[in-house]
């Protein structure tokens, strides 16, 4: 069955993300956990540029395995070929650290082959990301929102492929992070 | 980038709520709450208003409570709420409870607003359940409604959530435990 070019698919997730280091990105716990919306898993790797990939770096801290896509980070499986064309967020930053600068929410293609060994090293590709507004100094708790649209083949994903959402904090030092944040992120896909 | 006018977006929410007072509106817990993140235990004292009107509460409701609790969907582009549908299990409604209401509301704030500013939540549209009489037995209910009004308009980046409210002959004749799914339909403007 063919689907009309331009039809839109949307998925949302609520989340809590407690940034503890700017050197890592976080993603959700497994669904059976008592806090499945808590992005408590992380790896000491950074969200790469759109169209680029991040891989397990061979260290314990920088481990990224293929099972962590469907088990943890994944929020939508493309039912047909599509492209990430939009992201939007609305968050509450509880108490950003002095020197915290921003956060980034990334849409990652969690790549693997059907029946691949679950403990193989993973390769995740950034389909799109959105950065928050820039903070400066020691800002108080606040609410933030934003949206952006994309139109690039870097956001293309084939039917059956998994997309995960990850979050990363940025600041003037590793510990100058955005701290705890609650919110909602929405991903918009366009049928290709 | 522009998107085709009329393209639709959907957002679905599974939920459980214990609607214990008809004077309250209920919405979800913190995403970080142990075991009950999709349970609607948070509440404010007030009524779901008409589409286009702001929620008025007699207690405190902060700006942070939009993204922290209520929010389910963030508009990636400007759009309009054009439909709501629900399917629920009412476990054991109280005698003289009459119906429930599910309202889609947007949390209005500016990027960087203080977390303890007063919340401004505007109703985009709501749906009422079938009216019950007497002492209703446990039952399943479903319904849908469509809208076509600028009262349902939201801008890109605004967050939308769903509130639940119970109705009955007194404040304690309520719907009580409700579990189900509610779907919101938006149209790109």
Q: Chain A to chain B, count of Cβ pairs less than 8 Å apart?
A: 140
pLDDT confidence of residue B20? 93
Partner residue opposite A10 with nearest CB, options B9, B109, B158: B9
pLDDT confidence of residue B2? 67
Answer yes or no: is B1 within a domain: no
Partner residue opposite B157 with nearest CB, options A7, A145, A188: A145
Partner residue opposite A145 with nearest CB, options B69, B117, B158: B158
Which chain A residue shows the shortest CA-CA distance from B10? A10
Instruction: Provide the pLDDT confidence category of residue A54 given band limits of 50, 70 and 90.
Output: very high
Instruction: Provide the pLDDT confidence category of residue A48 given band limits of 50, 70 and 90.
Output: very high
Answer yes or no: is B24 within a domain: yes
Residue B81 has pLDDT above 70, yes or no: yes
pLDDT confidence of residue A6? 73
pTM: 0.94
CB contact under 8 A, B74 and A151: no
CB A179 within 8 A of CB A93: yes
pLDDT confidence of residue B38? 93
Q: How far off is chain B from A132, nearest CA to CA, in Å?
A: 9
Q: How many domains does chain B have?
A: 1
Instruction: Provide the pLDDT confidence category of residue A76 given band limits of 50, 70 and 90.
Output: very high
Pairwise CA distance, residues A86 & A89, whole Å? 10
Percent of chain A, pLDDT > 70?
A: 98
pLDDT confidence of residue B48? 98
Q: For residue B107, what are the domain limits?
A: 8-188
pLDDT confidence of residue A20? 86
Partner residue opposite B35 with nearest CB, options A16, A34, A187: A34
Residue B1 has pLDDT above 80, yes or no: no
pLDDT confidence of residue A94? 95
pLDDT confidence of residue A1? 60
Average pLDDT over residues A104-128: 97
DSSP state of A69: I
Percent of chain A, pLDDT > 90?
A: 95
CB contact under 8 A, A141 and B112: no
pLDDT confidence of residue B107? 98
Please tell me the least confidently modeled range out of A2-6, A111-115, B33-37: A2-6
pLDDT of B2-30, one tens digit each?
A: 677 778 999 999 999 999 999 999 999 99
pLDDT confidence of residue B6? 74
pLDDT of B25-71, one tens digit each?
A: 999 999 999 999 999 999 999 999 999 999 999 999 999 999 999 99
CB contact under 8 A, B73 and A37: no
- Mean pLDDT score of chain A: 95
CB contact under 8 A, B68 and A92: yes
CB A145 within 8 A of CB A90: yes
pLDDT of A139-163, one tens digit each?
A: 999 999 999 999 999 999 999 999 9
Answer yes or no: is B2 within a domain: no
pLDDT of B107-164, one tens digit each?
A: 999 999 999 999 999 999 999 999 999 999 999 999 999 999 999 999 999 999 999 9
- Is this prediction's ipTM beyond 0.90? yes
Residue B106 has pLDDT above 90, yes or no: yes
Pairwise CA distance, residues B65 & A152, whole Å? 35
Q: How far off is chain A from B9, nearest CA to CA, in Å?
A: 6
Contacts of A147 in chain B (CB under 8 A): 74-77, 156-157
Residue A2 has pLDDT above 80, yes or no: no
Strand, coil or helix: what is A45? Answer: coil
Partner residue opposite B68 with nearest CB, options A35, A145, A182: A182
CB contact under 8 A, B35 and A184: no
CB B167 within 8 A of CB B77: no
Total number of residues shown for chain A: 192
Our separate counts of H helices and E strands in chain B read 1, 11
Q: How many CB atoms lie within 10 A of CB B142?
A: 12
Contacts of A92 in chain B (CB under 8 A): 64, 66-68, 115
Pairwise CA distance, residues B85 & B92, whole Å? 21
CB contact under 8 A, A15 and B31: yes
Provide residues of A within 8 Å CB-CB of chain B.
Answer: 6-8, 10, 12, 14-16, 34-38, 85-94, 133, 140-147, 149-151, 182-188
CB contact under 8 A, B32 and A37: yes
CB A86 within 8 A of CB A147: yes
Residue A5 has pLDDT above 80, yes or no: no
């Amino acid at each position: 069955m063919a689907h009309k070019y331009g039809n839109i698919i949307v998925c949302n997730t609520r989340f809590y993300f407690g940034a503890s280091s700017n050197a890592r990105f976080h993603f959700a716990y497994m669904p059976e956990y008592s806090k499945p919306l808590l992005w408590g898993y992380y790896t000491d790797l950074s969200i790469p540029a759109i169209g680029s990939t991040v891989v397990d770096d061979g260290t314990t801290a920088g481990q990224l395995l293929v099972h962590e896509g469907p088990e943890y980070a994944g929020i939508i499986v493309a039912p047909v070929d599509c492209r990430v064309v939009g992201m939007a967020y609305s968050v509450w930053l509880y108490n950003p650290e002095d020197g915290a600068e921003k956060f980034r929410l990334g849409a990652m293609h969690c790549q693997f082959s059907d029946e691949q060994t679950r403990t193989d090293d993973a390769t995740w590709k950034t389909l799109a990301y959105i950065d928050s507004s820039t903070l400066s100094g020691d800002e108080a708790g606040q609410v933030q929102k934003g949206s952006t649209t994309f139109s690039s083949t870097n956001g293309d994903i084939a039917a059956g492929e998994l997309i995960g959402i990850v979050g990363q904090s940025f600041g003037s030092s590793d510990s100058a992070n955005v701290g705890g944040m609650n919110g909602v992120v929405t991903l918009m896909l366009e049928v290709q | 980038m522009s998107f085709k006018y009329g393209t639709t977006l959907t957002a679905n929410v599974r939920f459980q709520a214990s609607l214990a007072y008809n004077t309250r509106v209920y919405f979800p817990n913190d995403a970080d709450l142990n075991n009950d993140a999709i349970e609607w235990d948070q509440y404010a004292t007030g009524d779901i208003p008409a589409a286009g009107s702001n929620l008025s509460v007699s207690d405190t409701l902060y700006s942070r409570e939009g993204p922290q609790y209520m929010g389910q969907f963030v508009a990636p582009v400007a759009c309009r709420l054009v439909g709501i549908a629900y399917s629920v299990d009412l476990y054991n409604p109280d005698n003289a409870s009459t119906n429930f209401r599910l309202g889609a509301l947007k949390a209005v704030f500016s990027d960087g607003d203080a977390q303890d500013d007063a919340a401004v939540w505007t109703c985009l549209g709501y749906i009422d359940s079938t009216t019950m009489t007497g002492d209703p037995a446990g039952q399943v209910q479903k319904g849908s409604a469509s809208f076509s009004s600028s009262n349902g308009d939201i801008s890109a980046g605004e967050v939308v959530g769903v509130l639940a409210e119970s109705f009955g002959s007194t404040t304690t004749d309520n719907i009580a435990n409700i579990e189900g799914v509610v779907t919101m339909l938006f149209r790109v403007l």
